Amino acid sequence: MNLRYIALLLVGGLMIFSACNEEEDIVSTDLDFWENALLQGSQCRLSDIDARTLAAEYAPGSVITDGDFLIDQNLSLYIYEMTFDDSVQVNIYLNEEPCALYEIEGAIPPFTYEIEPPLGLVTFQSALAAAEAEVTGATLLDWQLSRDFNAAKVWVYTFEFNTGSDLQTIRVDAGDGTVI
> What pLDDT was estimated at residue 43?
58
Is residue 11 over pLDDT 70? no
Model confidence at 72, in pLDDT bands (50, 70, 90)? Answer: confident
Which H, E and C letters describe the chain, residue by residue?
A: CCHHHHHHHHHHHHHHHHCCCCCCEECCCCHHHHHHHHHHCECCEECHHHHHHHHHHHCCCCEEEEEEEEEECCEEEEEEEEECCCCCEEEEEEECCCEEEEEEEECCCCCCCCCCCCCCCCCHHHHHHHHHCCCCCCEEEEEEEEEECCCCCEEEEEEEEECCCCEEEEEEECCCCCEC
The arithmetic mean of pLDDT across residues 142-152, rounded, is 85
Please report the domains of the chain, with CATH numbers, ordered by start residue.
20-113 (3.10.450), 121-180 (3.10.450.40)
pLDDT bin (cut points 50, 70, 90) of residue 85 is confident
Task: Say what the pTM is.
Answer: 0.73
User: Between 126 and 151, where is the model more confident?
Assistant: 126
Evaluate if residue 5 carries a pLDDT over 50.
no
Q: What is the pLDDT of residue 73?
A: 79
